[in-house]
Amino acid sequence: MDLTLALHAVAHRVGAKVAPQTATFMEYRGTGWKTNKGISPLTGPAVAFRIRVRGASPTSATLEISRWHLRALSASLDLHGDRADFISSAGSHPIHFAGQVISPGTISGTLIRRGRSYPLVLHKAKTS
């Protein structure tokens, strides 16, 4: 296994403070893991937020985040003007999104889980 990639995983999953300690413990002197240079982005959608609508009103919502292996989580949706917020429970760690409609079919905001913030842009998918 590539140690640079392994240290990226440690920093992402466990925390940025633990990665240097892990590198020291493994007696690894490389520093490539400290940047994202050369790291390929994950392919495929990382987040899927599905809203069922009856008439003009949303009736239910589900959230899936493949990177965190979260599937079909029930989510509450709150729409006010150009603001869109949702919250979903993943065990004891709620997931919260606060965003704003920036164009028709596009919402930009921040996803928060376990005290960490992630920028997120949601695009309306084509229906089949």
The confidence score (pLDDT) of residue 9 equals: 73
Same domain, 16 and 54: no
The confidence score (pLDDT) of residue 3 equals: 66
The confidence score (pLDDT) of residue 2 equals: 64
The confidence score (pLDDT) of residue 37 equals: 62
Cβ-contact 75, 62 below 8 angstroms:
yes
Is 89 part of any domain? yes
Q: Quote the domain boundaries for residue 107.
A: 47-123
| Number of domains composing the chain | 2
Is 106 part of any domain? yes
Same domain, 25 and 85: no
Closest among 19, 2, 21 to 10, alpha carbons compared: 19
Same domain, 19 and 52: no
Is 61 part of any domain? yes
Q: Classify residue 109 as exposed, middle or buried by CB count within 10 Å of its CB (0-12, 13-18, 19+).
A: buried
pLDDT, one tens digit for every residue, the chain (128 residues)? 366 767 767 776 777 788 788 878 777 777 766 665 655 444 444 678 777 777 777 667 888 887 777 888 888 888 888 888 888 877 777 888 888 988 888 888 888 888 888 888 888 877 65
Its pTM stands at 0.56
Same domain, 84 and 30: no
Same domain, 21 and 57: no
The confidence score (pLDDT) of residue 128 equals: 58
Same domain, 59 and 86: yes
Same domain, 71 and 115: yes
Same domain, 54 and 113: yes
The confidence score (pLDDT) of residue 61 equals: 81
The confidence score (pLDDT) of residue 52 equals: 76
Buried b (16+ CB within 10 A) or exposed e, 58-96: eeebebbbeeeebeebebebeeeeeebbbebeeeeeebe
Could you give the CA distance from residue 106 to residue 49 in angstroms, rounded to a whole number? Answer: 12
The alpha-carbon radius of gyration of the chain (Å, integer) is: 18
Is 42 part of any domain? no
